[in-house]
Amino acid sequence: MARIAGVNIPTAKRAVIALTYITGIGNTSAKAICEAVNIDLTRRVNELSDAEVLAIREHIDANYMVEGDLRREVQMNIKRAMDLGSYRGLRHRRNLPVRGQRTHTNARTRK
């Protein structure tokens, strides 16, 4: 298994699909990464050479915020909103839906 950004990438899948297993990389980012490193979109991870895996790893490290760093950034943004006392922060603090969803009959999982 190839290991990129601290995540074991499945080897049987295509490289574009396998990259989406990394938190912070979706379909569009995965395609952009493969095109930037000149990897064919149909190639599978087990067909990639060590140099290509290293190139992917370096490109992700240089250009993307992924995994733990991304999670930490999101948590810090939520904490900052709570400390500011904004409406969003208040909703987070009370464990209520943040983005305007109704709460009278729904939102059981968030409440």
pLDDT (0 to 100) of residue 25: 95
Q: Which tens digit of pLDDT belongs to each residue from 32-55?
A: 999 999 999 999 999 999 999 999
Query: What are the structural domains of the chain?
Result: 2-64 (1.10.8.50), 67-111 (4.10.910.10)
The contacts of residue 5 (CB under 8 Å, 6+ apart) are: 22, 57, 60, 61, 66, 67
pLDDT per residue over 71-105, tens digit each?
Answer: 999 999 999 999 999 999 999 999 999 999 998 88
What is the pTM (predicted TM-score) of this model? Answer: 0.81
